């Protein structure tokens, strides 16, 4: 089994996104899989400018930047993989701009003049199946606790799966990144012991991908669980504005205590 993770974080290998990818990689390699993480911030990636030269006879399915940046090299590694992991922090309710710029370059690999229908029955055009139709898992992280925060990213990749005939084999969504110290603050485990189970679940997700080719629903639920113990009744009340306002004030106090604490250390990873 060959797994390639695409790290779309602008913080590269210093952020929470990469920290979580490493957890998945540990589990996958323990089961004998080959695992490679491609950190987009370390590569030159030009914007697609919509010039359509790639759709002309002179430069058919060849981007004008093919010999000028690293995208083709990354695409070739993706074709080599059995499973791809698209990993990104949430930036303004969507994937990182870096990951979107990278994915836009797929435009040059398909012939928009050859119309066809996807397996899900959607009207589309020719694609490079070796690149676009790989089974893939999604890894998303954000600081917010709201379920609404990562929804755009999840929705995008569900649509991608339908048009590209690419099986989506799991979605790891880790919220509350700042609250748990972005994986770099061991003392946070004393306050939120569930985080250790979460990290074990991320490793198990790697094992699942290596052995059964998908993330088991039980593993996904563990990885995506809330790390804050909320009684059922309070979980209902928190949906009402007065109670939510009180919760926000409490969260402000907690964050202020974290910022002013002498053991707080670096604020690296606040976005990712």
pLDDT tens over the chain, length 272 residues? 999 999 999 999 999 999 999 999 999 999 999 999 999 999 999 999 999 999 998 899 999 999 999 999 999 999 999 999 999 999 999 999 999 999 999 999 999 889 999 988 999 999 999 999 999 999 999 999 889 999 999 999 999 999 999 999 999 999 999 888 898 887 787 788 899 999 999 999 999 999 999 999 999 999 999 987 655 544 555 566 676 666 666 666 655 655 555 554 444 444 44
What integer pLDDT is reported at residue 250 of this predicted model?
61
| All domains in the chain, ordered by first residue | 2-229 (3.40.50.360)
What integer pLDDT is reported at residue 267 of this predicted model?
41
What's phi and psi for 74, nearest 5 deg?
-70, -45
CA distance 55 to 107: 9
What's phi and psi for 75, nearest 5 deg?
-55, -40
pTM of the complete model: 0.86
CA distance 113 to 206: 39
What integer pLDDT is reported at residue 272 of this predicted model?
45
For 36-104, the three-class secondary structure string (H helix, E strand, C coil) is EEEEHHHCCCCCCCCCCHHHCCCCCCCCCCCCCCCHHHHHHHHHHCCEEEEEEECECCECCHHHHHHHH
**Residues sharing a CB contact under 8 Å with residue 270, sequence separation 6 or more, in sequence order:** 143, 178, 182
CA distance 73 to 77: 7
What integer pLDDT is reported at residue 192 of this predicted model?
86
């Amino acid at each position: 089994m060959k797994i390639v993770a695409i790290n779309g974080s602008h913080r590269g290998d210093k952020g929470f996104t990469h920290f979580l990818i490493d957890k998945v990689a540990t589990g996958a390699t323990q089961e004998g899989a080959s695992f490679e993480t491609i950190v987009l911030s370390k590569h030159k990636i030009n914007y697609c400018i919509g010039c359509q030269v790639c759709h002309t006879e002179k430069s058919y399915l060849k981007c004008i930047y093919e010999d000028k940046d690293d995208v083709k090299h990354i695409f070739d590694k993706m074709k080599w993989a059995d499973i791809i992991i698209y990993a990104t922090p949430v930036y303004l309710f969507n994937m990182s701009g870096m990951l979107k710029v990278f994915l836009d370059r797929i435009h040059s690999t398909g012939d928009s003049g050859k119309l066809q229908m996807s397996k899900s029955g959607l009207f589309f055009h020719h694609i490079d199946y070796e690149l676009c139709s790989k089974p893939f898992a999604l890894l998303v992280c954000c600081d917010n606790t709201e379920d609404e925060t990562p929804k755009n990213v999840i929705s995008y990749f569900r649509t991608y799966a339908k048009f590209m005939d690419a099986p989506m084999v799991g979605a790891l969504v880790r919220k509350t990144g700042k609250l748990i110290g972005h994986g770099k603050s061991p003392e946070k485990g004393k306050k939120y012991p569930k985080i250790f189970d979460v990290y074990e679940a991320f490793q198990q997700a790697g094992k699942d991908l290596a052995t059964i080719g998908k993330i088991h629903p039980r593993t996904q639920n563990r990885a995506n669980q809330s790390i804050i113990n909320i009684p059922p009744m309070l979980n209902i009340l928190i949906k009402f504005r007065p109670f939510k306002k009180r919760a926000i004030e409490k969260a402000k106090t907690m964050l202020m205590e974290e910022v002013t604490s002498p053991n707080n250390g670096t604020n690296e990873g606040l976005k990712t």
